[in-house]
């Protein structure tokens, strides 16, 4: 057992967890944040993507015990009160989801790629979005509308960043 203290979606949490507990299990079972999904065993589908200290990681391939002191954001933590995050809103507007199972990981990866590209001053083209989605598999949408949603949200996020300056 390890005592782990983290900030999850802005709230401090402290739990004793077995050494083998994965971050995905910690979120789903200990914190009952079931928006983070598990769709494979080999770290490829990306349904489990969350942000740890500002970076997208696969929570199914990360031990909770190793994240003492970490700042974790999940799909449940990105809306601002009643206001959806622009990435969430864009997925709705562009029909970027069907069954919804891969969606949390897609949205978390989408936010991460927009943040990285904007930080580097790079243009997030359709081709780049598709490359960046290497680790997120969707079986329903054929990616067409996911790509459109991320493109749109990238624009909104850039505008918001400008407005905040």
Partner 1 sequence: MTDGIGARVARKEDKRFITGKGKYTDDIRMENQAYAAFVRSPHASAKVTGIDASAAEAMEGVIAVHTGPELKADGIGDIITGWAITSKDGNPMQCGVWNPMVTEFARYVGDAVAIVVAESQDLARRAAEKVSVSYDELPATVFADHALETDAHQVHENVPGNLIFNWEIGDEEKTDAAMSGAHHVTQIDITNNRLSPNAMEPRSAVAVYDEAEDHYTLYTTSQNPHVARLVLSAFYQVAPEHKLRVIAPDVGGGFGSKIYIYPEEIACLWASMKTGRSVKWTSDRSEAFMTDAHGRDHVTTAKMGFDADGKIVGFHVDTIANIGAYVSLFATATPTYLYGTLWSGTYDIPAIYGTVRAVHTNTVPVDAYRGAGRPEATYMIERMMETAAREMGMDPAELRRRNFVKEFPYQTQVLLQYDSGDYDALLDMAQDAANVSGFAARKAEAAGRGKLRGIGYSTFVEACGLAPSAAAGSLGAGVGLWESAEVRVNPVGTVEVLTGCHSHGQGHETTFAQLVADRFGLPIDSVSIVHGDTDKVQFGMGTYGSRSGPVGMSAVMKALDKVEIKAKQIAAHVLEASEVDIVIEGGEAKVAGTDKTMGWHEVGLAAYTAHNLPEGMEPGLKETSFFDPVNFSFPSGALICEVEVDPDTGVTEIVQFTAADDFGTIINPMIVEGQVHGGITQGIGQALHEGVVYDDSGQLLTGSYMDYQMPRAADVPSYTVSHGCTPSPNNPLGLKGCGEAGAIGAPPAVINAIIDAIGTDNLQMPATPQAVWTALQSAKMPMAAE
Partner 2 sequence: MYETKYHKAASVQDAVAALSGASEGAVLAGGQTLLPTMKQHLASPSDLVDVRGIAGMQGVTVGDGTITIGAATRHADVAGNADVKAHIPGLAALAGGIGDPAVRSMGTIGGSVANNDPAADYPAAVLGLGATVVTDRREIAADDFFEGMFSTALDDGEIITAIRFPVPTRAAYAKFPNPASRYAMVGVFVAETGGNVRVAVTGAGEDGVFRHDGMESALASDFSVASAAGATTSQEGVLNDMHASAAYRAHLVNVMAERAVSKAG
Report the distance separating Cα 152 and Cα 74, nearest Å.
Answer: 21
Give min distance, CB of 32 to partner 2, in A: 21
Report the distance separating Cα 153 and Cα 69, nearest Å.
Answer: 30
Residue 92 near partner 1 by CB under 8 A: yes
Report the distance separating Cα 25 and Cα 13, nearest Å.
Answer: 15
Burial of 160 (0-12, 13-18, 19+ CB in 10 A): exposed
Residue 7 near partner 1 by CB under 8 A: no
Query: Which entry of partner 1, partner 2, none binds 88, CB below 5 to 8 A by partner kind?
Result: partner 1
Q: Measured from the CB atom, is 33 or 70 closer to partner 1? A: 33
Contact indicator for 137, 106 with CB cutoff of 8 Å: no
Report the distance separating Cα 134 and Cα 23, nearest Å.
Answer: 21
Residue 144 near partner 1 by CB under 8 A: yes
Residue 75 near partner 1 by CB under 8 A: yes
What is the number of other CB atoms lying within 10 angstroms of the CB of residue 97?
21
Task: Select the residue interacting with partner 1 from 53, 66, 79, 125 (CB under 8 A).
Answer: 79
Give min distance, CB of 128 to partner 1, in A: 10
Task: Select the residue interacting with partner 1 from 3, 53, 68, 142 (CB under 8 A).
Answer: 142
Residue 126 DSSP one-character state: H
Residues that bind partner 2 (CB under 8 A): 2, 18-20, 22, 41-44, 46, 49, 52, 55-58, 60-63, 65-66, 68, 109, 112-113, 116, 120, 132, 134-136
Give min distance, CB of 163 to partner 2, in A: 27
Distant-in-sequence, close-in-space partners of 163: CB < 8 Å, separation ≥ 6: none
Q: Measured from the CB atom, is 89 or 158 closer to partner 1? A: 89
Beta strands in the chain (DSSP E): 2-8, 11-17, 49-52, 55-58, 71-73
Give min distance, CB of 31 to partner 1, in A: 12
Residue 113 near partner 1 by CB under 8 A: no
């Amino acid at each position: 057992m390890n005592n782990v203290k983290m900030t999850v979606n802005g709230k401090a949490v402290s739990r004793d967890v077995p050494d083998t507990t994965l971050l995905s299990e910690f979120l789903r079972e200990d914190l009952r944040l079931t928006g983070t999904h598990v769709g494979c065993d080999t770290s490829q589908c990306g349904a489990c993507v969350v942000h740890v200290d500002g970076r997208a990681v696969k929570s199914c391939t990360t031990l909770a015990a190793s994240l003492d002191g970490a700042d974790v954001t999940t799909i449940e933590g990105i809306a601002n009160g009643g206001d959806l995050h622009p990435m969430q809103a864009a997925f709705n507007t562009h029909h970027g989801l069907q069954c919804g199972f891969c969606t949390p990981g897609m949205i978390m990866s989408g936010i991460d790629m927009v943040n990285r590209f904007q930080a580097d001053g790079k243009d997030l083209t359709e081709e780049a979005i598709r490359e960046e989605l290497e680790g997120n598999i969707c079986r329903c949408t054929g990616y067409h509308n996911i790509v459109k949603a991320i493109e749109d949200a990238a624009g909104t996020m850039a505008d918001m960043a400008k407005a905040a300056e």
